[in-house]
Amino acid sequence: MATVVELPIETYVGPVEPDWCPGCGDFGVLKAVKMAAGRAGVHPKDLVVVSGIGCSSNLPGFIHAYGVHSLHGRAVAVASGIKLANTDLKVVITGGDGDGYGIGIGHFIHAMRRNLDLTYVVMNNQIYGLTTGQASPTTMKDMRTKSTPRGNAELPINPIALALVSGATYVARGFSGDPDHMAGLIAGGILHRGFALIDVFSPCVTYNKLNTYPWFKQRVYKLDKEPGYNSSDVMRALEKSFEWGDRIPIGLFYQDEQPTYEDSEPALRQGPLVRQKLGLEEDVFRSLLEELM
Amino acid sequence: MTEVTVGIGGAAGDGLDKTGDTLARTAARLGLHVYAYNSYQSVIRGGHIWLRVRIGQDKVQCHGDHLNALIALNQDAIERHAPEVEPGGVILFNTDKLRVNTALQDHVATLPLPVAELTAPFGRIQPIMQNTVALGALLFLLELEFDVAASVLADTFAHKGKAVIDQNVGLLRAGYDYARDRFVPLGLRWEFSRKRRPFITGNEAFSIGAVAAGCKFYSAYPMTPASSILHWMAAHADRCGIVVKQCEDELAVVNMAIGAGFAGVRAMCGTSGGGFALMTEAIGQAGMIEAPVVIILVQRGGPSTGIPTKTEQADLNQALGASQGDYPRIIIAPTHTADCFHSAVEAFNLAEKYQLPVILISDLLLSEHPETVDPELLPHRVPVDRGDLVTEWDPANGTYKRFAFTPSGVSPRALPGTPNTLYVAATDEHDEEGILISDVFTNPAVRRKIAEKRMKKMALALKDLPAPELEGPLDAEVTLIGWGSSRGVIREAVAQLAARGVRANHLQIKYILPFHADEVRNILSGARRTICIEGNATGQFARHLRAETGIGVDHLILKYDGEPFEPRQITEQVLAILEGRPRTLDVTLPEAREIAYHYIRTHLSEDVRPGRIEKMPGDGIPEPVWCIQIVDRDTGDPRGELFVGVQTGSTYSWQPAGLQARSAHS
């Protein structure tokens, strides 16, 4: 691997200040994404931050990089197209739990089984914030929200377990209360060749009064401090992914080196598509017509 | 013009498409023109398939009205199509299994082929290879050169080795010699130019046009009748250097293509109506973030799952109405096969020049039927216009504004990876720099100007598009208007009308949006009578025409039974309109027969078929009825009667023979 020349966090100062609620967990994520890009040495011109729709999906507007603020649930698909078109770019997807685990879950699962070289940071606040507080796919069972006044009847999605069984080759969880730790996980994801999920506990201070900073601070512990934990053991990672109670693990659950989808594409062997010559050589073109005669 | 139309009828799985393909390529290699249409069903095996191959000395631009030679691969094909064979024609069938049990037109020859005897020297052969015997006989009757057909088979089976080629050519020879010893040819006066022309479908033309224009990314989810683009692209991806991505759904398909377009490659995706419905939100996204993308919409019979293997032109409203809000989009309806090639090239240039989604709207007929196309119409070098691209930006010039408000509405585009031109392309409303004005900081003035900026591109794009032209005499009695794939069949109808003493002219529309409202208004203001011809039930284009020009057409000729127009169907309806005969939606006699076939398939057994059909008063039924005699397939003995409403088409009752409470004679 080439030597990484780290860049300072100021490199990524965006054109406008975030308009998130004061205290929102997403501030920590924004800081961690900038730190991670710097640690991974990605120049802003080579960084594309792609989001969907939701509070957290406003993130691309707050960072100095290229970006697409796409449709609700479609960030992973748009990012996949960008990456396949220009493999020289580092593509980081940022979004929320409703965007990625609800309306966009199909793309999420399929991107993982493809092992595209993408980094996906999900700001998981277990609530729909932008639409003022309805249950999300990760809202805990029995929690009361505007749309579940009698308590949420559905079980939450387990994104870590889902990623592990769907073929993601880098699976981690961060916490907004510890941006520095999270930045390490995101930087690892950016440098990892393959699909990286970093699910982040990013508390919504306005609409989720259950899963708060104190709630997480009491519970989270770091896997890298766990004696004997080995992030190359998928079954052990799966076991840890189900730990949800008095103790909740954060950190790198699993990492594996596998060929990426891009590796399997013959068209990409001559370099990024975006740099390839348009059109066909005459003999190739003639052969296409000859087949039909 | 010397021409012949061959019909091949059988069940799915009989391999008649291969037989038709060999015939068509043989004629094409001899320098003749070919147009084929396959009425296929969405099943792997079974179902009635009816392939027509029209071969002409000159260009043929639709599958026509005629039937001169029939290869029947099952009894069904004889019963349904033998009566359609025209005087001077011939019917070929396997006499071991089939027989002619219907009345024929005068001077129609039958050629029973003893297939078991003819194929015996070849040992055990696959049933599909029996078709090759019939094809050999047909070659002799049509006076097509045996050696050329043998060369087609040799190419077709090249990957299977010499033994397979020899066996197939041997079977072809057996049929050819059998016919030569017993029959005389139909007497077609061909002149073989031997000019080689591709025998190509619309979907192949779209694909080849796209790669010639530099398409580097194609995404799709399987959906008939667009899947053959995916198949072509996948099969040629390595040779053409394209990434072909089959996705989890059409949401991913179009969003990936938009992502690729944003990143700077020429990206395309394809689907049919159902998939397009899923794509619509993202098509609006492409308009909003000003990302170039090409979307091919191959229409099939709707609504909903509809008739997946049948043709229709009923997704125009959907294309025009795709996605929320006002946004610029270009909709192009190619009018013939070679036009699919050029439209794909044009679509990429327009998409990049104006930074918007371009929808190519085709249909099953245009996309799937193969025809010979002059190779000069499919050039290697095509025009490429990538639009205004910013490849370098000096920060001393100030901040790069991705969505700069320019007089033209087109803002110079920078691709990710370019230094000093960083921006976010947002689906939220934004300002010139891409900064949101959607939530906390809204701004009506900026919103108004960026909305105008985006829509300005439509007026500019219109200037790039050639205006439609009227074909035929200016003082015609009637003007026929079509859009998209119907160009060829309407042209032929115009010629038929001329032969019947009716002066008609013809306006075919290719550019749906933006629309040449002024030019079309000028053309139609001089028309004495206008008829819009469309493959849908509600006249979707006529409505668009009225919306754009204020001109309502005088009459509509609509078809929505899943089958493409045939020239005579248009001609007859035009004559009926001109003569003031009211249009009727009554069930016709051939349709009554088809309804009976459906009843037989779903309620009776395979050993019966429809016999005599008569219209009679509905005794106790509130409408006149078609009384359809159902007869034994072998003996012709009556087995009962079926009563179908002439107006509603309802199948009222089935009266088995012997229990007949009523009959045509009572």
Residue B534 is given by DSSP the state E
pLDDT, tens digit, 9 for 90 and up, residues B202-254? 999 999 999 999 999 999 999 999 999 999 999 999 999 999 999 999 999 99
In this prediction, residue A2 carries a pLDDT of 64
* B259 neighbourhood in chain A, CB within 8 Å: 50, 68, 77-85
Cα–Cα separations (whole angstroms), residue B172 to A124, B115, B234, B470: 68, 12, 33, 47
* A109 neighbourhood in chain B, CB within 8 Å: 248
Q: How confident is the model at residue B452 (pLDDT cuts 50, 70, 90)?
A: very high
In this prediction, residue B42 carries a pLDDT of 55
What stretches of B46-129 show up as alpha helix (H) in DSSP?
A: 75-81, 115-119
User: Does the beta-carbon distance from A288 to B211 stay under 8 Å?
Assistant: yes
* A80 neighbourhood in chain B, CB within 8 Å: 245, 252, 256, 259
Quote the Cα angle for B165-B168-B172, to 5°: 135
Count Cβ atoms within 10 A of the Cβ of residue B666 and give its class: 0-12 exposed, 13-18 middle, 19 or more buried. exposed
Minimum CA–CA partner of A288 in chain B:
B208
8 Å CB contact between A211 and A140: yes
CA B153 – CA B147 distance, rounded (Å): 10
Q: Residue B9 — left, alpha, or beta (φ > 0 → left; ψ -120 to 50 → alpha)? A: beta
CA B362 – CA B349 distance, rounded (Å): 19
Q: How confident is the model at residue B634 (pLDDT cuts 50, 70, 90)?
A: confident
CB atoms within 10 A of CB A1: 5
CA B359 – CA B512 distance, rounded (Å): 10
Mutation for B interface: A273, A277, A287, most B CBs within 10 A: A273
Identity of the amino acid at B457 = K
pLDDT, tens digit, 9 for 90 and up, residues A206-220? 999 999 999 999 999
What sign results for the dihedral spanned by CA atoms B489, B490, B491, B495?
positive
pLDDT, tens digit, 9 for 90 and up, residues A129-187? 999 999 999 999 999 999 999 999 999 999 999 999 999 999 999 999 999 999 999 99
CA A140 – CA A215 distance, rounded (Å): 13
* Six-digit token string for A178: 């510890």
Virtual torsion, Cα B193, B197, B200, B202, nearest 10 deg: -100
Q: Which of B473, B492, B570 is nearest to B531 (CA)?
A: B570
Give the mean model confidence (pLDDT) for residues B568-577: 97
Q: How confident is the model at residue A115 (pLDDT cuts 50, 70, 90)?
A: very high
In this prediction, residue B11 carries a pLDDT of 86
Q: Quote the percentage of chain A above a pLDDT of 70.
A: 99
Q: How confident is the model at residue B44 (pLDDT cuts 50, 70, 90)?
A: low
* A277 neighbourhood in chain B, CB within 8 Å: 214
Evaluate if residue B666 carries a pLDDT over 50: no
User: Does the beta-carbon distance from A77 to B423 stay under 8 Å?
Assistant: no
Q: How confident is the model at residue B663 (pLDDT cuts 50, 70, 90)?
A: very low
pTM over 0.95: yes
- H/E stretch holding B359 reads strand B357-363
pLDDT, tens digit, 9 for 90 and up, residues B275-285? 999 999 999 99
pLDDT, tens digit, 9 for 90 and up, residues B608-626? 999 999 999 998 999 999 9
Give the mean model confidence (pLDDT) for residues A237-261: 97
Residue B125 is given by DSSP the state -
Mutation for A interface: B238, B256, B278, B385, most A CBs within 10 A: B256
8 Å CB contact between B411 and B453: yes
* Contacts across the A-B interface (CB distance below 8 Å): 208
- H/E stretch holding B612 reads strand B608-616
Residue B119 is given by DSSP the state H
B289 and A CB contact within 8 Å: yes
pLDDT, tens digit, 9 for 90 and up, residues B47-88? 788 999 999 999 999 999 999 999 999 998 999 899 999 999
Choice among A92-101, B46-55, B402-411 with the minimum mean pLDDT: B46-55
Evaluate if residue A199 carries a pLDDT over 80: yes
User: Does the beta-carbon distance from B426 to A61 stay under 8 Å?
Assistant: yes
Q: Which residues pair with B557 in a beta bridge?
A: B533
User: Does the beta-carbon distance from B426 to A110 stay under 8 Å?
Assistant: no
